[in-house]
């Protein structure tokens, strides 16, 4: 599977999605630095509508909402990014191991992976967060662990396909060391597939992270997180609906962009562009 960079950059939808994501990320990381408020800073005015001083108004405790959204975005997007990345790396490693080594290692590990994937990821994240200590950010690992199975399966089947193919056999016959074979052929062929799955996993991680924030598991207040911000904003739906709508809209936007990005990557990989 060839990686066709040029066709990716010609894909307007994927490029737009990427740009939007980058813009959001930049906003979340830069705005709190330039804002005149801190995310925890309580100013006198509660529930103020948007004004020049507070571009998105203030929340029910009088904190500047724009700063809180930006900081919350930092948290949510970081969790999504890192748990997606960890799931990708660990899952890919497991997949390559199982696919290449095979045998009983493969059976045992894949059974574990199947057991892992049969538990809904939300529940798994909650349980792991509970066990590892709540509020200290360990739920990131919980989300990452829940995200491992799709990678493991995908990479394993791709590895199996490649391992069985003729050019690997001939490499081995020529005396190449297993690790070299893996690095040269397997990784190069499998990485593009994993790349598509990464965006999906990050989107799922984003969803779980915000749900955890919404139901009150995960980050402790006053640290903002988009799901938690939504939760506190929901009570005020009638009066200051923007406090709930903006976090929700931000979440939806990021998820859509991640999916469009993934589609773009996938399209740039299929060399002939689709089925007959």
Partner 1 sequence: MNGQDILLDVTGLRLSFRTPRGTVQAVSNASFQVLRGEVTGIVGESGSGKSVTACALLGLLARNGTVEAGTALFDGRDLLALGEKDLRKLRGSEISMIFQDPMTALDPVFTIGSFLTEVLRSHDPAVSRREAWSRSVQMLAGMGIRDPEDVMHCYPDSLSGGMCQRVMIAAALLCGPKLLIADEPTTALDVTIQEEILSLLQQLKEENGMSILFITHDFGVVARLCDRVAVMYGGFVMEYGSVEQIFYDAAHPYTQALLRAIPRPEDDGAEPMAALQGDPIDLIHLPEGCVFAPRCSLCCEDCLHIRPAAADLGSGHVAVCHRIREGGAAHV
Partner 2 sequence: MIGYFCKRILLIIPSVMAVILLIFILMSFLAGTNTARMVQYADDPQESAPGLSFLEQYGKYCFRVFVHQDFGLNDISRLPLSDELLHRTGVTLRITGISILATYLLGVPLGVLAACRRGRWQDTLITSLTTFFSAIPSFCLALALILFFAVRLRWVHVLPETPADDLIPLSTLSVIGAANVAKVTRAGMAEVLEKPFVLSLTSLGLSRRSVILRHGLKNALIPAFSVFTTVFAQLLCGSIVVERFFSIPGLGLTMIRAISSRATATLLGCATVVALIMSICSVITDLLFVLVNPSLRRTLSFGSSMRFRGRR
CB 4 within 8 A of CB 264: no
- When binding is defined by CB under 8 A, the residue of 244, 257, 261, 265 that contacts partner 2 is 244
Other Cβ atoms within 10 Å of 192 Cβ, number: 18
Other Cβ atoms within 10 Å of 217 Cβ, number: 19
CB 145 within 8 A of CB 113: no
Peptide bond into 222 cis (omega under 30): yes
Stretch that binds partner 2, among 62-70, 71-79, 89-97, 123-131 (CB under 8 A): 123-131
Residue 174 CB-density burial (10 A; 0-12 exposed, 13-18 middle, 19+ buried): exposed
Stretch that binds partner 2, among 34-42, 46-54, 165-173, 248-256 (CB under 8 A): 248-256
12 vs 274 by CB, closer to partner 1: 274
CB of 272 to partner 1, least distance (A): 4
How far from chain centre, in Å, is Cα 224? 18
- When binding is defined by CB under 8 A, the residue of 211, 219, 229, 261 that contacts partner 2 is 211
CA pair distance 252, 155, nearest whole angstrom: 28
Q: Is residue 12 within the footprint of partner 1 (CB under 8 A)? A: no
CB of 47 to partner 1, least distance (A): 58
95 vs 213 by CB, closer to partner 2: 213
Query: What secondary structure letter does DSSP report for 271?
Result: S
122 binds, among partner 2, partner 1, none (CB under 5 to 8 A by kind): partner 2
Q: Is residue 20 within the footprint of partner 2 (CB under 8 A)? A: no
CB of 216 to partner 1, least distance (A): 47
What residues between 255 and 274 interact with partner 1 by CB under 8 A? 272-274
Q: Is residue 205 within the footprint of partner 2 (CB under 8 A)? A: no
Phi, psi angles (nearest 5°) of residue 64: -65, 120
Question: Which neighbouring-strand residues pair with 64?
Answer: 58
248 binds, among partner 1, partner 2, none (CB under 5 to 8 A by kind): partner 2
Positions touching partner 1 (CB under 8 A) are 272-274, 276
């Amino acid at each position: 599977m060839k990686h066709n960079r040029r066709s990716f950059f010609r894909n307007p939808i994927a490029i737009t999605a990427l740009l939007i994501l980058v813009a959001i990320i930049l906003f979340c990381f830069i705005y709190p630095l330039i804002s005149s408020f801190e995310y925890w800073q309580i100013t006198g005015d509660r529930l103020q509508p948007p004004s020049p001083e507070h571009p998105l108004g203030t929340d029910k405790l009088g904190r500047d909402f724009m700063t809180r959204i930006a900081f919350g975005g930092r948290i949510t997007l970081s969790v999504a990014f890192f748990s997606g990345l960890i799931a990708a790396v660990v899952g890919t490693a497991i997949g390559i191991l199982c696919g290449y080594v095979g045998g009983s290692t493969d059976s045992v590990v894949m059974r574990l992976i199947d057991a892992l994937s049969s538990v809904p990821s939300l529940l798994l994240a909650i349980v792991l967060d509970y066990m590892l200590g709540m509020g200290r950010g360990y739920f990131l690992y919980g989300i990452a662990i829940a995200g491992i199975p799709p990678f493991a399966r995908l990479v394993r089947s791709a590895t199996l396909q490649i391992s069985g193919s003729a050019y690997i056999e001939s490499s081995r016959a020529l005396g190449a060391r297993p690790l070299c074979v893996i690095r040269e052929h397997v990784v190069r062929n499998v990485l593009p597939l994993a790349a598509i799955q990464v965006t999906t996993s990050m989107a799922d991680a984003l969803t779980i992270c915000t749900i955890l924030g919404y139901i009150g598991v995960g980050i402790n207040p006053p640290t903002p997180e988009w799901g938690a911000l939504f939760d506190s904003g929901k009570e005020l739906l009638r009066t200051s609906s923007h406090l709930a709508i903006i976090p929700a809209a931000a979440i939806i936007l990021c998820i859509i962009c991640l999916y469009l990005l993934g589609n773009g990557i996938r399209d740039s990989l299929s060399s002939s562009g689709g089925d007959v």
